[in-house]
Amino acid sequence: MTLRKLFGTDGIRGEANVWPMTADTMIRVAAAAGRHFTRGDHRHRVIIGKDTRLSGYLIEPALTAGFVSVGMDVILTGPMPTPAIAMLTRTLRADLGVVISASHNPYSDNGVKFFGPDGYKLSDDIEAEIESNLDATTPIAAADKLGRARRLDDAEGRYIEFVKATFPRRLRLDGLKIVVDCANGAAYRMAPAVLWELGADVVTVGVEPDGFNINHDCGATHPAVLQSQVVAHNADLGIALDGDADRLQMVDEHGTLVDGDQVMGLIARSWREENKLTGGCVTATVMSNLGLERYLGGLGLGLIRASVGDRYVLEAMRANGCNLGGEQSGHIILTDYATTGDGLVAALQVLAVIAGAGKPASEVLQVFSPLPQILKNVRFANGGKPLEAATVKDAIAAAEAQLKGSGRILVRKSGTEPLVRVMAEGEDETLVGRVVDDVAAAIAAASR
């Protein structure tokens, strides 16, 4: 397999206007992807959506030029959540879907991720093949075979109606005051519209994007704003999305944060009671709390752990017949409705339980008691290999020995940043903190 230099765990990502997120590279990436997905004699089409960051104005026309150059017609949606592009790729029978977004990263970064005609993210093998063909010059379309580009004017409306259709028809959100934080990102118009049309009293946060403020002190990765706003407005609960709206965090009426593990536990119990849960299991990642695993076990359900990254969660879901999976960070995948994480669809499943129960969010959202869990990120120089140091390996082995039988430790490199993530959890919080500090210190020393 060709060495992958561009693609990471979720497409291509980097600093805007710096390799690889430059116009010339994006033209070549689009042309290579277009060549790969040009099969048959029909007019081939690609759908391109983006979030609200400034560099989308650079990357969108570059991708458009690349696709048009190999004869693909381009459909542009403007700001649109990642799951919306996955959905539109399927429903419009497109050959490829593209999202321009760096998800939860700051405005200065950007990225591109691809969906195949089935609406699923591309496999590692397909991404590697696209990358290996970046420098190919043929076949380029003849002058009379070039593609065309057009805007899809009703993209927002299509997605809004799709999302609303996932909410039970027998229920309404009347009487619920909901704060929604859209992170100044792709769902800044659609998320409030969905909640309001379903009957909620909506308070909005993060709905004034200016190209620079996406994810800045707001959204799913900065939930403190949502927590304070829920309390200040005496709201029933809060919903926070990230920049491309595939991630969800929730807050109860007291401002208490509810992470993806609690959301998965709640949906699992609800779907099990309604005979909707398939596979007898939930798929999560190695980062999910042991408390979730124990809670699901008490329901007679299994927990399958996948590598970090919603694409790997989805692969494990499909392999094991699960229709519910996700990440502690809030990527929740519900394959009855979507082929990728969808923060708004997941929120509606939770809201359905709250609306049906007629109880405060605090009594519904906390379904299990998590074990103490501590995560530290240790930055290292690009190109460094701190996990190969003998001192780091010894520190990890010592931590595993101390936690044996009462917890676990996980050490992994980030797929999107030069970070090593050190996570431990167990019944003794003091011990958990100590082993995380010891391993993090060893990594920091090896990175100097």
Q: Indicate which residues carry an active-site annotation.
A: 103
Residue whose tokens read 């308070």: 203
> Could you write out the DSSP letters of every residue in 299-334?
TT-EEEEE-SSHHHHHHHHHHHT-SEEE-TTS-EEE
Q: Closest Cα to residue 208, out of 219, 221, 200?
A: 219
How much of the chain is in helix, strand and coil states, percent to nearest 5? 35, 20, 40
CA dist 339 and 350 (Å) reads: 19
Angle, helix 290-298 to helix 260-273, in steps of 10 degrees: 10
Distance CA 431, CA 435 (A): 6
Neighbours of 7 (CB within 10 A): 22
First vs last Cα of the chain: how many Å apart? 33
Q: How far apart are the C-alpha atoms of 433 and 426, rounded to whole Å?
A: 10
- Residue 313 CA to residue 307 CA, distance in Å, equals 7
Of 228, 28, 54, nearest to 133 (Cα)? 28
Longest dimension (CA), the chain: 70
SS3 annotation, 378-418: EECCCCCCHHHCHHHHHHHHHHHHHHCCCEEEEEEECCCCC
Q: Is the CB of residue 97 less than 8 Å from the CB of residue 114?
A: yes
Q: Coil, strand, or helix at residue 180?
A: strand
∠118-329-7 over CA atoms, to 5°? 50
DSSP-derived pairing of the beta strands 109-115 and 96-100: antiparallel
Alpha-helix residue ranges (DSSP H) falling in 117-222:
124-132, 155-164, 190-197
